[in-house]
Copies of this chain bind each other. A is one copy, B any other.
Amino acid sequence: MMKKNAPQQPVEAALIKNADELVRSYPAVPLTVDCVIFGFEENKLKVLLIKSDLEIFENKLSLLGDRVLDDEELDEAAYRILKERTGMNDVFLDQVRVFSHPKRHPGGRVITIAYCSLLNINHHELKIHDHDLHWHSVASLKEMAFDHKEIVDYCYQWLQKRIQEHPLGFNLLPEKFSLRELQNLYEAILGITLDRRNFRKKFASMDLLIDIDEMEQDVPHRPGKLYKFNFEKYERNKRKWVGIDF
């Protein structure tokens, strides 16, 4: 167990009137951000992992994480890590939850904030392969370092819910995609099968896909039409959803 720098139970907080003094009386905790970066390839949901540096974890798999720097916002930290590891700017990123179990890190107490991001594997070739950075199928994940398996599981559930209510999936696909690819994505993430005709009708009625008048190339069957997602229109008419349902 590491020693803390601030006194454990300092002068009664209720009496402190000075902000600096009050803050100095708080225990300080090392803080990290872990990025759960999902991708989609071969009709499988994947997550970007490395092998842990730490001896204690041998070669166990680990999320991309890093300390939060002094005076760095958490969101910034997550974007920084994503950029350092993948070269990517300008992608989707969302805070999911804090993981705070006192024994989650073997080196002493460390609290981590999990961020989720989604990206299109084919658009972002991995240039850095340090620590055996690679895409790993989510379904076949076994043991991981720290509590990272728990974090991935939680983020996956978060994604399942989120993708039904927000157009996140398009961040996992190429800019131009076929309806089949879109349906495969939903089926893989939600772990269900969907009726093809109803799926297409649903998206047709939303009227958020732009028919770009191109066809798939080099497929061993009848080529499908390609679409783009109409992000502007979606942003303009965001649905204000009201309905009690549980």
- For A235-246 the 0/1 string (1 means CB < 8 A from B) is 000010111111
> A30's contact among B16, B27, B53, B55, by CB below 8 Å, is which?
B27
Select A31's contact among B26, B74, B97, B206, beta carbons within 8 Å.
Answer: B26
Q: Is A134 an interface residue (CB 8 A)?
A: no
Q: Which residues of B contact A53 (CB under 8 A)?
A: 13-14, 16-17, 22
- For A109-135 the 0/1 string (1 means CB < 8 A from B) is 111010000000000000000100000
Known: A66-B13, A166-B246, A242-B190. A29 touches B32 (CB 8 A): no
- CA separation between A49 and B96, bound complex, in Å? 27
Q: Is the CB of A69 within 8 A of B242?
A: no
Interface: A220 (CB within 8 A): no
Q: Of B54, B101, B165, B206, which contacts A19 at CB under 8 A?
A: B54
A102/B71 contact (C-beta < 8 A), A17-B53, A107-B21 known: yes
A72: CB under 8 A from chain B?
yes
A86: interface (CB < 8 Å): no
Please list the residues of chain A having a beta carbon within 8 angstroms of any beta carbon in chain B. Answer: 2, 4-6, 8-9, 13-14, 16-32, 53-56, 66-75, 95, 97-98, 100-102, 105-111, 113, 130, 163-167, 186, 190, 192, 202, 206, 234, 239, 241-246
Name 14 interchain pairs, CB-CB below 8 A, sorted by A.
A18-B55, A18-B107, A19-B55, A19-B106, A22-B53, A23-B110, A26-B32, A26-B67, A28-B31, A29-B29, A31-B31, A72-B102, A164-B241, A239-B245
